[in-house]
Amino acid sequence: MTTKEYTKDVLGEKSGFQIWWRMLRPHTLTASFVPVFVGTVIASIETTVHYGLFFAMLLASMLIQAATNMFNEYYDFVKGLDTEKSVGIGGTIVRDGISPQTVRWLAFMFYGLAILLGFYICIETNFWIALIGLISMLFGYLYTGGPYPIAYSPFGELFSGFFMGTVIIGISYFIQTSYLSVEAVLLSLPVAVLIGAILLSNNIRDLEGDKKNGRKTLAILIGRDNAIRLLAYFFISAYVFTIILITLGMMPVWGVITLLSIKKPINAVKVFKNNHTPLEMMPAMKFTAQTNTMFGILFGISFLLNHLYSIQSLA
């Protein structure tokens, strides 16, 4: 068995349609769904949801993220950072033999589809959305593309949390209500922090390989142990800030249901502390992504529960 075949077997990778599905890195796409869901649910308290805009925003966000993942795969291959032994990547180029140019072409095609959806959103709302969307797409490309990739710097967590958390929630809220409130921005912060945590956990797992390839990620600069502590602080801050939002009346008391997701981040930190190889740390990545998904869905559901309770009270 070759090294490539062994790696594919260990990672449980299959051929056929699965090759193209893995290229999208579907396990990461909840980081697009959650912000759109949360922003729309918050807006639903103040207005009737326009489902056409909701689904257009959701699909556009997922297309942009999938394209960003493809650019990541392409540029990491071109710069020699990904090999057939690399863990945590789609492996479309290095293990499945798909042409790098094909991956890049598909990424631009996804961007094109996102632009068409954005055009529809702008027609229904405001063309300022186009500018924000184009800036978001530019930073998605610059994450690994361009002369100074964001992914190779200590600012990856900041940019990913801001654009995929606060910006997406803000746009999702705005296209439903036609304005952006301070409350909506503050409510975006717990989700933004957890999206940043996903990238931080990725950088903890890849720390040694990234260091050898000259990256300067936050995890490398502060060291493995401190990076794990910082990840724990990210998790804690998301829950603490949620409690603060409830206390301030910006979020319904139902928001306490987000605590039902707390076992996932605890497991993530434990796995990182007790394991050191990329394969051994893969479950920690999974737990971190699941934290964002469960927390975000419960976060949004708390507003829906409050809305239903208010309707029943008036009946």
Query: 161-177, pLDDT tens digit by residue?
Result: 999 999 999 999 999 99
Model confidence band, residue 132 (pLDDT cutoffs 50, 70, 90)? very high
Model confidence band, residue 53 (pLDDT cutoffs 50, 70, 90)? very high
Res 5: pLDDT: 46
Model confidence band, residue 144 (pLDDT cutoffs 50, 70, 90)? confident
What is the pLDDT of the chain when averaged over all its residues?
88
Q: Which carries the bigger pLDDT value, residue 5 or residue 102?
A: 102
Per-residue pLDDT reduced to its tens digit, 174-193: 999 999 999 999 999 999 99
Res 76: pLDDT: 81
Res 175: pLDDT: 96
Question: Which of these, 285, 311, 293, lies nearest to 37 by C-alpha position?
Answer: 293
End-to-end Cα spacing for the chain: 68
Alpha-carbon torsion angle 148, 68, 263, 275, nearest 10: -60
Question: Angle at which helices 182-205 and 278-314 pack, to 10 degrees?
Answer: 160
Model confidence band, residue 10 (pLDDT cutoffs 50, 70, 90)? very low
Prediction pTM value: 0.89
Res 178: pLDDT: 94
Sequence-separated contacts (24+) of 165-168 with Cβ below 8 Å: 165/35, 165/189, 165/191, 165/192, 165/193, 165/194, 165/195, 165/196, 166/192, 167/132, 167/136, 168/32, 168/35, 168/36, 168/39, 168/61, 168/136
Average pLDDT value for residue range 25-30? 77
Average pLDDT value for residue range 302-310? 85
Cα separations in angstroms, 147 against 100, 122, 141, 162, 203: 19, 32, 11, 22, 20
Q: Which CATH class is domain 3-309?
A: mainly alpha
Average pLDDT value for residue range 299-313? 84
Q: How far is Cα 297 from Cα 126, in angstroms, rounded to an integer?
A: 28
Res 234: pLDDT: 98
Per-residue pLDDT reduced to its tens digit, 218-254: 999 999 999 999 999 999 999 999 999 999 999 999 9
- The residue extents of the domains of the chain are 3-309
Res 303: pLDDT: 93
Res 77: pLDDT: 81
The total of other beta-carbon atoms located within 10 Å of residue 101's CB is: 9
Model confidence band, residue 315 (pLDDT cutoffs 50, 70, 90)? low
